[in-house]
Chains A and B, each alone.
Chain A
């Protein structure tokens, strides 16, 4: 049985963690693969600034550092920012799947141009970073948001009537105004809107979380992982330091509650 670690980018209780597992039901997975979901200990409040990006990188690196030693065959990162992906790739030999990079490349398997549909304008920097890294800005028809702020714990629950139509309206502008052939949901937290949008939109819409589950399976079965020249190993892995950082963050979070 192949085992995949899904790193959830915020600390959360079991009830909210179960919402992050829900996208597993949105994809038909092959046999012999199992997914464990693990929240980080170090995290920003949200992903809207460079400060947040640094904390997210550290938190996800810390959460995934031991994945290979713990017997996992792949790691999926549950945020479109791909935070920590490069850092984890530099220390792990198993595949590390970031939804941002993988969703954009998959979109280009389905059409010539894609748009990223975000909840909130303040997530824009997450996408421009990956677009720049891939050198694929010319393939991005647009980055559009619905002007909504999500809750990274309760997700879209209770707000469907307000949020889903607003997302549909923004997605249609991506298609009709911007010329998108494919839409990518701008956050793994938007998975609850995927079925609603997929039923109504005239173009494919990629649900990035489930995509990573399937591509983890593909990488494992194809025995393919990232290149070491693109992700060189560090001279020393700060295992103890990162573990201590995790303890500190957990303690501070406890104090602030």
Chain B
């Protein structure tokens, strides 16, 4: 039995069966918990800082609870680095993972986002050093002409509800995130401790109290 904790932002209201059963291995069990961000929607740095804390609090005990991986469903990858610093099990994030995964399929990718995620998505493309591979981060719903013709389209956040049809290969970041987590578990791989060093002093109680 493989147990994965999926943390999703409550405002997106993702369904419990966020991926169809045939995507994951038969013995993979996903526990889906919705996390309420203190400041929502997360459209700027103030909101992002609070979202980092909320996700850290929600996931920091995942390993002790027996989960073999944590998946973060928010395309904004909030709290990812912090969770990686305190957990040894893989922490797999929708934004980073789906963008890197898309480059296994094509030379370039595009991101379609709503107002909620637009600024954050642009920031992450840059932070991850992928500017040269990204055709654009665009607002969903307005003029879909250009976006629909792009080769690989990643649907960030609730953009997936707005895109009914696209001529592109469409990537659901949450499904990719879960499948890659399952793959990392199968390969006994996790994030590097060199990139995500442990804190000298864990502050689990403080984090929990701040997020209560």
A residues neighboring B (CB under 8 Å): 26-31, 97, 101-102, 105-106, 108-113, 133-136, 138-139, 175, 179-182, 198, 202-204, 206-207, 210-211, 214-215, 217-218, 221-222, 224-231
Chain B min CB distance to A123 (Å): 22
A215 proximity list for chain B (CB < 8 A): 104, 183
Contacts of A110 in B (CB 8 A): 90, 184, 189-192, 195
A and B contact pairs by CB, cutoff 8 A, 27 listed: A27-B187, A28-B185, A30-B186, A31-B26, A105-B104, A106-B189, A108-B128, A109-B191, A110-B184, A110-B189, A110-B191, A111-B195, A138-B129, A198-B188, A204-B190, A211-B187, A214-B183, A214-B186, A218-B176, A218-B180, A222-B175, A226-B106, A227-B105, A227-B168, A229-B106, A230-B107, A231-B106
Which of A135, A175, A224, A227 contacts B151, CB < 8 Å?
A: A227
Residue of A nearest to B194 (CB): A181
Band of interface residues on B: 35 or more
- Do A221 and B24 touch (CB < 8 A)? yes
How far apart sit A188 and B138, CA to CA, in the bound complex (Å)?
39
A224 near B171 with CB under 8 A, answer yes
Chain A residues near B168 (CB-CB < 8 A): 227
Residue of A nearest to B172 (CB): A222
For the complex, is B116 an interface residue (Cβ under 8 Å from A)?
A: no
Contacts of B151 in A (CB 8 A): 227-230
Given contacts A109-B96, A214-B186, A230-B108, 20 further A-B contacts (CB under 8 A): A27-B187, A30-B26, A101-B103, A101-B104, A102-B104, A105-B100, A109-B184, A135-B132, A138-B129, A179-B194, A181-B195, A203-B193, A214-B187, A215-B104, A218-B183, A222-B23, A225-B169, A226-B106, A227-B151, A230-B107
Separation in Å of the B114 CB from the closest CB of chain A?
A: 23
The smallest C-beta distance from B80 to any residue of chain A, in angstroms, reads: 11
Number of A-B residue pairs at CB separation under 8 A: 124
Main secondary structure of the interface of B (DSSP, over half): loop
Pick from A97, A136, A179, A224 the residue with the most CB of B within 10 Å.
A224
| A181-B192 in contact (CB<8A) | yes
Query: Which residues of B have CB within 8 Å of A222?
Result: 23, 175-176, 179
Interface residues of B in 91-150 (CB under 8 A from A): 92, 96-97, 100-101, 103-108, 128-129, 132-133
Cβ-defined contact, A217 with B183, below 8 A: yes
Residues of A within 8 A of B25 (CB): 30-31
Check B22 for interface membership: any CB of A closer than 8 A.
Answer: yes
Chain B 154-182 interface mask (CB, 8 Å, partner A; 1/0): 00000000000000110100011001101
**A206–B133 alpha-carbon span in the complex (Å):** 24
Cβ of A197 to closest chain B Cβ, rounded Å:
13
- Check: B152 CB closer than 8 A to any chain A CB: yes
**Given A102-B104, A218-B179, A226-B105, A203-B152 contact (CB < 8 Å):** no
Q: In the complex, are the beta carbons of B129 and A139 less than 8 A apart?
A: yes
Q: Do B129 and A27 touch (CB < 8 A)?
A: no
